[in-house]
Homo-oligomer: A and B are copies of this chain.
């Protein structure tokens, strides 16, 4: 094992510090982004995430189970979130031709508009909280380290 590569039960102080800061920063950022949206009278971040995925899918729409794969929401959470989005007219549910159990979710014009207005606020938060605080080079470094955390190399 390489020096500095720990794989034991007990975390090193270095790992604990990195974890603590990751937790702290992400919670603060989420809170601040949520506050900014609330302030603007817009729906919460979760709505943006889902609208984003559905919008990306385009005309073909998305099946709810695909949303579950792409996001970190639980099945019942997606089910109810979609119900709320539909009630607000932001998405529409269409029957699926070859699977009677399922449905296809498609974003509506109103949904696109809401997403656009949310992005104006959300994007500003990202710019202020992240874009304005690190250089491109630093952003690239942190992005790559965060990616390594999510996708560890097999020999680690």
CB neighbours of A128 from chain B (8 A): 7
CB distance from A35 to the nearest CB of B (A): 12
* Bound-complex Cα distance A24 to B27 (A): 12
- Interface size for A (C-beta < 8 A) is 58
How far does the alpha carbon of A140 sit from the alpha carbon of B13 in the complex, in Å?
Answer: 11
Indicate if the CB atoms of B143 and A148 lie closer than 8 Å.
no
- A21-B127 CB under 8 A given contacts A136-B14, A138-B148: no
**In the assembled complex, which residues on chain B have CB atoms less than 8 Å from the CB atom of A140?**
14
- Interchain CB contact under 8 A, A124 and B23: no
Is the pair B150, A15 in contact by a Cβ cutoff of 8 Å?
no
Chain A 38-88 residues near chain B, CB threshold 8 A: 72
Q: So how many copies of this chain end up in the complex? A: 2
Q: A134-B149, A142-B142, A152-B132 are in contact. Are A127 and B18 (CB under 8 A)?
A: no
B9 and A139 contacting across the interface, CB-CB below 8 Å:
no
Residue A95 interfacial (CB < 8 Å):
no
CA distance A31 to B136 in the complex (A): 30
Residues of B within 8 A of A19 (CB): 29, 126, 129-130
CB contacts under 8 Å to B, within A113-156, are 120, 123-124, 126-143, 145-150, 152, 156
A8 within 8 A of B: yes
**Besides the contacts A7-B127, A22-B26, A145-B145, what 7 more A-B pairs have beta carbons closer than 8 Å?**
A9-B123, A10-B127, A11-B131, A14-B143, A15-B127, A19-B29, A24-B72
